[in-house]
């Protein structure tokens, strides 16, 4: 989680973190705390490594959250997600760990992450995690990623 004395990544050069645990995630104040709304990040080119074979795995992530006090700063999120490129972990571990870390940092009213993984061994493994409750009256759109059918 973000240390209070760190300089935010926004506005300065920052190297790619070597591992997710070393990545700094920054948050900024939500300027619309009086309004419930959904913020969405779509990550169509997520990459990590299979922890057994070391071969690359690819996913399309959709992250939706209803902020309370905090928003995630997008540059730090991009660097955090890119830090998985050399990280070995199963699909379930990556998806749930990302969701839990964001939820712990932001303390949103609601957060969900959909990990739509491309096939490994001929079988796609899609992973979904959520926490919190969607506030009454909030429009939460479908994630819009089709089930795997050759993705073509």
Look up tokens 């957060």; give the residue: 111
Q: Is 57 labeled as catalytic in the residue annotation?
A: yes
Exactly one of 50, 93, 94, 126 is catalytic; name it.
Answer: 50
Residue 128 CA: distances (Å) to CA of 17, 90, 100:
25, 14, 12
Distance CA 25, CA 150 (A): 34
Rounded distance, CA 39 to CA 37, Å? Answer: 7
Task: Single out the catalytic residue among 57, 64, 93, 126.
Answer: 57
What are the C-alpha distances in Å from 39 to residues 81, 117, 122, 141? 17, 22, 33, 11
Specify whether 93 is catalytic.
no
Q: Which residues 6+ apart lie within 8 Å of 2 measured at CB?
A: 24, 25, 26, 27, 105
Which of these, 128, 78, 77, lies nearest to 106 by C-alpha position?
77
Residues designated catalytic: 50, 57
């Amino acid at each position: 989680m973000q240390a209070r004395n760190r300089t935010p990544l926004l506005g300065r050069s920052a190297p790619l973190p070597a591992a997710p645990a070393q990545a700094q995630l920054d948050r900024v104040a939500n300027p619309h705390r009086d309004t419930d709304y959904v913020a969405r990040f779509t990550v169509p080119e997520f990459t990590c490594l299979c922890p057994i074979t070391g071969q690359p795995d690819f996913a399309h992530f959709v992250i939706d959250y209803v902020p309370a006090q905090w928003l995630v700063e997008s540059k730090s999120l991009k660097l955090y997600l890119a830090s998985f490129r050399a990280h070995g972990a199963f699909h379930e571990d990556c998806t749930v760990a990302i969701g839990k870390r964001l939820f712990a940092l932001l303390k949103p009213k609601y957060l969900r992450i959909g990990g739509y993984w491309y096939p490994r061994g001929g079988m796609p493994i899609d992973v979904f995690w959520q926490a919190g409750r969607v506030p009454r009256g909030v429009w939460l759109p479908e994630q819009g990623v089709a089930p795997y059918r050759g993705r073509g």
